[in-house]
Amino acid sequence: MSVRGAIVVTGTELLGGRVSDRNGPWLAARFFELGIDLAHVTIVGDRPDDMLAALEWCSSLGVSLVVTSGGLGPTADDLTASVVGGFAGRAMVLDVALEERIAEILRPMRSRWPHLTEEEIRASNRKQAVVPEGATVLAPVGTAPGLVVPPAEGLVGPTVVVLPGPPRELQALWHAAVETETFARAVAGRTTYEQRMLRLYGLPESQIAQTLRLADERGVDFGRIEVTTCLRRGEIEIVTRFEAGDAAIYEAFVAVVRERHGEELFSEDGSLVDDQVAGMLVEQGFSLAVAESCTGGLLAGRLTERPGSSAYLRGGIVAYSDAVKEELVGVGHDVLVEHGAVSAQTALALAERARERLSADVGVGVTGIAGPGGGSAEKPVGLVFVAASGRDGRRLVRRAQLPGNRAEVRDRTTTLAMHLLRRLLLGESDAAAEGDTAAA
C-alpha cells in the first residue's frame, strides 16, 4: 500500500532567495528510503496564517504524514508548535518535565546571559515547553523538543512531525520520531522498499535512456522497479527502488547495465569515487601528491574532505603561474614552450614532478582552460588534461572537453582526475610511448 506524506518547511529567510533550504531535500531522501510517497515540499514564511494554510492544504490532499521544519525557537515569531496544536485540535499545555529538561540544558550556558537570573532564563524558554496536549515529545538535542502530533480524537487528518530547523537537531530528532508508536501508526500498512544506487562515469545520459529501452525490450519489468537517473558532478547516478520480492528484476536490470557499460560502471554499492580512491590508497599503502593549475587547489581540497586523508595525501602544489610550474614543480621550460601550459605533456610533467618533489608514490597533474576567457580555436574553454603517474612507471594521461561555466569546468576536472587516479590504482597504464600521442 502506498502512503503519502508532505513536507512543510518554515522560515521567512528562505523566501528571500539568499538562503537555500537544506532540510527539505534531506527529509525527502528519508521519505524515499521509508517508501513514503512524497506529495510535495512547501516552503512558507513564519506567518501563522500561511503555516496553517499549508497544513490544511496537505490535509485536503489526504496525506497521512506531514513533517514540519523550523519555528521552534524561544522567540515570539516561533509559532509552529501552537499552529500545529490548533490544526490537530489539541490544546497547548505546559509540559513540566520538559521545562525542567530545557532548564538543565541551559544551565551550563548561563554565562552567555550574565545580566539574567536563572528564573529569567527559564521564563524566556518556557514557551518551548508548551506543547499540544497528547503529543509525543522528543527530547531536545539543542533546546527545542521535537513533537509527533496525531489528530485529536474524532478528527481526521495527517499526523504532524514537528522538528526544529537547525539541520543537526532536525536530523537527530527525525530518527527519534521514526521510532515512536505515533509515527508507526501514521504510516502503518505501507509497502517497504529496497533502494540501490549505481554510479557511472564517462558516458552521456542519453546512453542510459537507450539502455533502459533495451532492458525493457528484454523483459525487465519497469512497472515493478522504479528507476531514476541524474547527473551529478559529471557522473551518472541510477537509483532504483523496489519491493523486497522484486530483487531478481533489479538484478536483471543491473546485468543489462553491466553488459552495456561495464567500462563506465564504477560503483554498484553507491560508493563514491572519492571513497574508492581513499580506500585503495590506504589498502595499497601509497602516498599521493598533486600539482594542479586550472583547478587551483580544488583537487587537493577534495582529496582532503575526508577525515584521515593525511594518511595518504602528502600535499600539493597549486601551479597557477608558469613560473611556479617551472620553478617549484620542476616542469621543464622546453615542455612549456613546445607544447604549452595546457597540454598532455605539461599534465604528465606536473604529475611526475609533483610525485618526485613531494616524495610520494603517486602523482596527479591537472591543467586546462576553465574560462570564461583564455580559450582559442585550437584550445577552447573547457579543454583540460589530467595525468597520473606511479613510482613504478605506470602512467595515464587523458584529454577532455568539458561543458559548463568556470565553476562547473573546475569541479568536473576534479572528478576526471579522481577517476584517472582510480584507474591507475586499479593497475591500468597507458603504453609509455602511446600515452602522449593518445592524449595529444
Q: Which of residues 319-348 bind a copy of itself (CB under 8 A)?
A: 319-321, 323-324, 327-328
How many residues sit in the footprint of a copy of itself (CB under 8 A)? Answer: 76
- The stretch among 126-134, 175-183, 228-236, 418-426 that binds a copy of itself (CB under 8 A) is 228-236
Query: Interface with a copy of itself includes 286 (CB under 8 A)?
Result: no
Three-class secondary structure of residue 88 per DSSP = coil
Query: Interface with a copy of itself includes 28 (CB under 8 A)?
Result: yes
* Cα–Cα dist 53/248, whole Å: 44
Q: Which of 99, 133, 194, 237 binds a copy of itself (CB under 8 A)?
A: 237
Site for a copy of itself in 32-91 (CB under 8 A): 32, 38-45, 50, 53-54, 57, 61
Residues in Cβ contact with 181 at an 8 Å cutoff, skipping those fewer than 6 apart: 136
Query: Interface with a copy of itself includes 223 (CB under 8 A)?
Result: no
Query: Interface with a copy of itself includes 260 (CB under 8 A)?
Result: no
Three-class secondary structure of residue 230 per DSSP = strand
Provide the CB-side half-sphere exposure for 393 (13 A, CA): 3
Q: How far is the CB of 427 from a copy of itself (least distance, A)?
A: 26
User: Which is closer to a copy of itself, CB of 22 or CB of 126?
Assistant: 22
- The stretch among 151-159, 278-286, 369-377, 427-435 that binds a copy of itself (CB under 8 A) is 369-377
Query: Interface with a copy of itself includes 247 (CB under 8 A)?
Result: no
Query: Interface with a copy of itself includes 31 (CB under 8 A)?
Result: yes
383 neighbors 399 (Cβ within 8 angstroms): yes
User: Which is closer to a copy of itself, CB of 12 or CB of 82?
Assistant: 12
Q: How far is the CB of 327 from a copy of itself (least distance, A)?
A: 8
Name the DSSP class of 243: E
Compute CA 14 distance to the chain's CA centroid, rounded to the nearest angstrom: 20
Own/partner long-range contacts of 18-24 (Cβ < 8 Å, ≥24 apart): 21/69, 22/167, 23/69, 23/70, 23/163, 23/165, 23/167, 23/170, 24/69
| Burial tier of 324 (Cβ tally within 10 Å: 0-12, 13-18, 19+) | middle
Q: How far is the CB of 99 from a copy of itself (least distance, A)?
A: 23
Q: How far is the CB of 254 from a copy of itself (least distance, A)?
A: 19
Q: How far is the CB of 31 from a copy of itself (least distance, A)?
A: 7
Q: How far is the CB of 209 from a copy of itself (least distance, A)?
A: 9
Q: Which of 160, 313, 344, 400 binds a copy of itself (CB under 8 A)?
A: 313
Q: How far is the CB of 276 from a copy of itself (least distance, A)?
A: 19
Scan for cell 489526504, then name that residue.
Answer: 62
Burial 88-98 (b: 16+ CB within 10 A, else e): bbbebeebeeb
Query: Interface with a copy of itself includes 217 (CB under 8 A)?
Result: no
Omega of the bond leading into 403 within 30 degrees of 0 (cis): no
